[in-house]
Amino acid sequence: MRIFGKGRHRPSASWRQATDRAFTLIGDGRYEDAGALLTRAADLEPWLSESWFNLALLHKFRHDWEQARAAGLRAVALLDRSAGAPDWWNVGIAATALQDWPLARRAWQAYGLKVPGGVAASGEPTGMDLGSAAVRLSPEGEAEVVWGRRLDPARIELLSIPLPSSGRRWGEVVLHDGVPHGERTTAAGHSYPVFDEIELWAPSPVPTWVVLLEAATEADRDALEQLASDAGFAAEDWSSSVRLLCRMCSESRMPSDEGDGEHLDPHDHSEPGHPGPLGHRSPGAVWVPERECGIAAPAGLVRGLLDGWVADSPDSRDWRDLEEVC
């Protein structure tokens, strides 16, 4: 139903001027000033879905989910079309943030996504089976791209162990935006989108630890990762998995593997030969026994995991300097 029964028409010059200025202010982080202008634009052209879409977008940037939901619903009420409209996607994000599951289901269906009939005890839709993706944590700060499992179109459960600088933990669920910024490809040719985190949706009680390993071979390292996985937690060799990328590279199409032999990724701005955040491979791909490893496990289990790992092969394994970092 259209407000005042108005048909679609070109917005006024005053509307365009207020809107253009508002988005310039948004780019500068001046959300309050931008909000005043977008509210004025909505007063000038209340029958335009774009007026309310822009306000919903601003409220999403501010994480004001009640207002984002309200403006988003006004936007979709004025749409000429529904399937595939980004207005519905923003409504879905706001509804997910608020755990308004009936509205989230309606939004994804209206956008054109198939939503299975499964419902969790909390009421949230289940079984959307969207596969794996990467998410960029703290996209406006010291950004870090990690892997996760998509629970629905707006949430990812973190399966990588984030670095402590991110403030995120393994197993946390983050709300993410709908437009990917970059891709990660595998050696098999599969491509995965990289979404930007909006905010933490569900925290994890599992702490993150950093430890220095002595692992004589890659198989020794792999054994610890498998041991942690079998226990229901995680270990990750940060010496191999961490690359430092500039923003332009991070937001482009990037290979997720490390390459073979002496090939060095030209987009990798780390320092080869240094473990952990300073570099992810050594010259000539020679295995370096000292590894900086992240572990996600409860305090009462982590030392037992490490001791059990050493006990299985004491001549080729050791650990030291265990520290809880997040």
Shared-domain flag, residues 299 and 194 = yes
Helix, strand, coil percent content, the chain, rounded in steps of 5: 40, 20, 40
Shared-domain flag, residues 94 and 194 = no
Q: What domain range is 203 assigned to? A: 126-256+287-325
Q: Cα(228)–Cα(307) distance, rounded to whole angstroms?
A: 12
pTM for the model: 0.82
* Residue 281, domain member (yes or no): no
Tell me if 278 sits within 8 A of 221, measured CB to CB: no
Tokens at 280, concatenated: 């992810």
Tell me if 256 sits within 8 A of 160, measured CB to CB: no
Tokens 């590894």 sit on residue: 291
Nearest to 325 by CA among 187, 164, 99, 110: 164
Residues 6+ apart with CB under 8 A from 241: 160, 280
Shared-domain flag, residues 175 and 68 = no
Last residue of a domain, which of 82, 111, 140?
111
Instruction: Kindly report the CATH number assigned to the domain that includes residue 78.
Output: 1.25.40.10
* Residue 265, domain member (yes or no): no
> H or E stretch including 24?
helix 13-27
- pLDDT per residue as tens, the chain (326 positions): 333 344 456 889 999 999 999 999 999 999 999 999 999 999 999 999 999 999 999 999 999 999 999 999 999 999 987 678 899 999 999 999 999 999 999 999 999 998 887 777 677 877 777 888 999 998 887 789 999 999 999 999 999 999 999 999 999 999 999 888 888 787 777 888 899 999 999 999 999 999 999 999 999 999 999 999 999 999 999 988 765 444 444 454 445 553 333 334 444 444 433 333 333 344 446 899 999 999 999 999 999 999 999 999 999 999 999 999 99
* Domain count for the chain: 2
Shared-domain flag, residues 86 and 146 = no
